[in-house]
Chain A
Amino acid sequence: MLEAIGSGLLALLTPQALLFMLIGILYGLVIGILPGLGGVVAMTLLLPFTYGHEVAATLALLLGAHIATLWGDSVTSILFNVPGSSKSLALVFDGYPMTLRGEGERALGASAMAVLLGGIIGAVFLAACIPFVRPIILALGPAEYLMVSLWGMTLIATFSAGSLFKGLTAAALGVLIAFIGMDPVTATLRYTFGVMHLLDGISFPVAMIGLFAVSEMMKLHLRGDSIVSRQVSTDKSSVWDGVWDTLRRWPLVIRSSILGLWIGVLPGVGGSAAGIAAYAQAVQTSKHPETFGTGNVDGVIAPDATLGANEGGGLLPTLAFGIPGGDSMALLLIAFINMGIAPGPQMLTNNLSVVFSLVWIIVLASVITAIIGIIISPYLARMPTINEDLMVPLVLSVCFFGAYATRGEMADVIVCAVFGVLGFLMEKYRYSRANLVIGMVLATMIERSLHVSLMMYGKDFIFTRPLTLTLFLLVVLTAAWPFLRRRKQARAQAALEKGSL
């Protein structure tokens, strides 16, 4: 084992491997910053380069690019309210309010450090769990995935603070929007109105670009002011504040990383749900849940730590069983096959040094990304102070271009514009955009897991599977917790008022 750890590292210390990793990271950062494009796109475009090079160098290029996109995606979420990809959606809830408050540098620093720590925890977990991972993965099934999705839904309460009915209505609307297109279970066309483009459903990244970025530019155009005024931008926050914030909140980082690992291990759950679940966990365990959505740095740290650790978790089923933990892991699987390596149980015996090379790539790529992130954050954080007359046309152009580039379809540009207007109106009439997106992200997974659970375990599956029942009780408890805490606070306040009288 120790020999494999050493040889895994040595394979990466060749000039070619180091150069490939650096190229991958820089490329990943650029792709991540482009709206709508994330790690999957970055890896897809690199696949043709996986022939004829050293195995470690090729993996460094692919995985390095993928890891760098995690932070790249966070940058636009934090600075412009534009989710770089669906994974980084949760970053807009508190990252952007921090930017509005002039704390963009702090948010970017916290984000870079959280991705780094999450990545390291994920890599260590991957290395530690390799010998005894099989029974854990086999114990989890679609019923458990369903509970994870339902847990994410408890977040709706957080974003319904303005209006109960409007918050829930937005979530219900999001669920229905997610069902547009062909139902993968029954092959039924739902809510397509005969439009061919809608057969594949609404592209999630395109909808998000419209909902958050386009509507934000419409607001900026109306307001006639830059996102952050220059006066606010010269405040006291620095990138190091964010770094220390993350280090000080180590319990949150560890909790979020473990959550990311767990979700990563579940095949098919994906990073979008992971980010939202991490945010939900941060809100529910916080002493000040009411500050979330207004620029609480915990709301930046938790999703990024989860996404960082998610990679290590996702590698486990990919390497151990040849079952990809998500889209990006499926691409990695293709790269393995291109290189003549067969993932599966024999990977952990015959190619153990390759497995440890992957562990080292996650660690090294996370460290290099964090260093680059910390260096460039002060410059990036100045971008929101650009005059709105310059910002509006530039960002709108990038958004429409990004929407088109996502699938190369002109109809996606219309979807982007429609969601932009929808986002603008929702903001105006206080229908939570966050709840709409949460509904969209989790609906498909809930429906798919529910169908499979009913088929596999029958209609009483919640009560017949102890692990599912435990998770279900956890969901109920976490959903009820804000209300219980509120009652307690109300009682304490009433007692205090009585005492003062």
Chain B
Amino acid sequence: MSRRAQENLVGVIVLAVFVVMLYLTFGYSSRARLVPLPVCILGIILAAAQLLWQNLRSADELRVSFLDVFGSRGAIKTPTAAPQAGSGPVQPQSTEVDVTRKPGGELSAFGIIAILLALVFVVGPLPSVFLFTAGYLALTRHCSLARAILYAFLCAAILYGLFGFALGVQLNRGLLSGFISNFVDF
């Protein structure tokens, strides 16, 4: 999908979110919608303006500076990150999400979040830390399986020490524990 198509898709989703919010806002009392109503209308205007703007400009010019529009009518280009005095020649690493070295690209990034989330719900927060850390370290071949298990155990133990023991946080046992407890008492 081209960059413009992606931007348009995101723009339409954002617009739809504001429209739904506006629709819901009309169901509230006048006092409850005192602030949300104008914010929703403003959001719709902004999202529509963004959609229009990005389709009227070339693909290279999808961004527009706030200061250029209202400050100097485009007399000065958008300021770039000026290095701080004394910061030396070292430049910051890119913060844009465009470098994808890992196999599977962005899907793998979404995948690890989904896996961790699923683990937390199935086995609970503490075992999920152990399983996820050990699995990630082993699959990325950062270290041997034995060492991955050791690191994962240490990580889970430290988190348990801090949250479970020191702070007294009641740790959820997950759906699996509830399922097993139907058959075995523990």
B82, A162: Cβ atoms closer than 8 Å: no
A165, B46: Cβ atoms closer than 8 Å: yes
Contacts of B64 in A (CB 8 A): 163-165
A397-B129, A405-B169 known; A429+B67 contact, CB < 8 A? no
The residue on A at minimum CB distance from B80 is A290
A176-B21, A390-B142 known; A221+B112 contact, CB < 8 A? yes
- Answer whether residue A400 sits at the interface, using C-beta atoms and an 8 A cutoff: yes
- Answer whether residue A236 sits at the interface, using C-beta atoms and an 8 A cutoff: yes
Select A446's contact among B35, B42, B62, B90, beta carbons within 8 Å: B35
B58-87 vs A, Cβ < 8 Å mask (1 yes, 0 no): 000011111101111001101101111011
Contacts of A450 in B (CB 8 A): 34-35
- Answer whether residue B53 sits at the interface, using C-beta atoms and an 8 A cutoff: yes
- Answer whether residue A179 sits at the interface, using C-beta atoms and an 8 A cutoff: yes
- Answer whether residue A54 sits at the interface, using C-beta atoms and an 8 A cutoff: no
A393-B136, A417-B117, A429-B7 known; A45+B168 contact, CB < 8 A? yes
Select A172's contact among B10, B46, B125, B168, beta carbons within 8 Å: B46
Alpha-carbon gap, A401 to B167, bound state (A): 12
Contacts of B7 in A (CB 8 A): 429
- Answer whether residue B49 sits at the interface, using C-beta atoms and an 8 A cutoff: yes
Alpha-carbon gap, A3 to B154, bound state (A): 52
B125, A401: Cβ atoms closer than 8 Å: yes
Contacts of B177 in A (CB 8 A): none
- Answer whether residue B123 sits at the interface, using C-beta atoms and an 8 A cutoff: no
Contacts of B117 in A (CB 8 A): 400, 413-414, 417
Contacts of B18 in A (CB 8 A): 172-173, 176
B92, A424: Cβ atoms closer than 8 Å: no
A296-B84, A397-B133, A494-B75 known; A410+B159 contact, CB < 8 A? no
- Answer whether residue A191 sits at the interface, using C-beta atoms and an 8 A cutoff: yes
A84 to chain B, nearest CB (A): 14
Contacts of B168 in A (CB 8 A): 45
Alpha-carbon gap, A164 to B69, bound state (A): 8
Contacts of A163 in B (CB 8 A): 50, 62-66
Chain B residues bordering chain A, tally (CB within 8 A): 89
**A211-270 with Cβ < 8 A to chain B:** 214, 218-219, 221-225, 228-229, 232, 235-236, 241
Contacts of B31 in A (CB 8 A): 185-186, 451
Contacts of A421 in B (CB 8 A): 110, 113
Contacts of B157 in A (CB 8 A): none
- Answer whether residue A394 sits at the interface, using C-beta atoms and an 8 A cutoff: yes
- Answer whether residue A486 sits at the interface, using C-beta atoms and an 8 A cutoff: yes
Alpha-carbon gap, A405 to B120, bound state (A): 13
- Answer whether residue B93 sits at the interface, using C-beta atoms and an 8 A cutoff: yes
Contacts of B50 in A (CB 8 A): 163, 165-166, 169
B90-118 vs A, Cβ < 8 Å mask (1 yes, 0 no): 11110111111110011011101110110
A450-490 vs B, Cβ < 8 Å mask (1 yes, 0 no): 11000000000000000000000000000000110011011
Alpha-carbon gap, A157 to B6, bound state (A): 25
- The CB with the most chain B CB atoms within 10 A, among A222, A229, A410, is that of A222
- Answer whether residue A382 sits at the interface, using C-beta atoms and an 8 A cutoff: no
A168, B46: Cβ atoms closer than 8 Å: yes
Contacts of B163 in A (CB 8 A): 34, 401, 405
B169, A160: Cβ atoms closer than 8 Å: no
Alpha-carbon gap, A101 to B88, bound state (A): 9
Select A176's contact among B39, B71, B102, B172, beta carbons within 8 Å: B39
The residue on A at minimum CB distance from B139 is A389
B70 to chain A, nearest CB (A): 5
A176-B21, A389-B142 known; A188+B32 contact, CB < 8 A? yes
A186, B82: Cβ atoms closer than 8 Å: no
A283-324 vs B, Cβ < 8 Å mask (1 yes, 0 no): 000001011011111000000000000000000000000000
- Answer whether residue A327 sits at the interface, using C-beta atoms and an 8 A cutoff: no
A236, B21: Cβ atoms closer than 8 Å: no
The residue on B at minimum CB distance from A399 is B116
A165-B49, A176-B36, A179-B36 known; A400+B116 contact, CB < 8 A? yes
- Answer whether residue B29 sits at the interface, using C-beta atoms and an 8 A cutoff: yes
Alpha-carbon gap, A168 to B65, bound state (A): 12
Alpha-carbon gap, A163 to B86, bound state (A): 29
The residue on A at minimum CB distance from B120 is A413
B109, A218: Cβ atoms closer than 8 Å: yes
Top 5 A-B residue pairs of the complex, sorted by shortest distance between their CB atoms: A486-B71, A389-B142, A290-B79, A490-B72, A224-B101
A-B contact pairs, 6 of them (CB 8 A): A101-B92, A176-B18, A191-B24, A218-B109, A389-B136, A486-B71
A residues near B, CB below 8 A? 30-31, 34, 37, 41, 45, 97, 100-103, 157, 160-169, 172-173, 175-176, 179, 183, 185-186, 188, 190-191, 214, 218-219, 221-225, 228-229, 232, 235-236, 241, 288, 290-291, 293-297, 387, 389-390, 392-394, 396-398, 400-401, 404-405, 408, 410, 413-414, 417, 420-421, 424-425, 427-431, 443, 446-447, 450-451, 482-483, 486-487, 489-490, 493-494
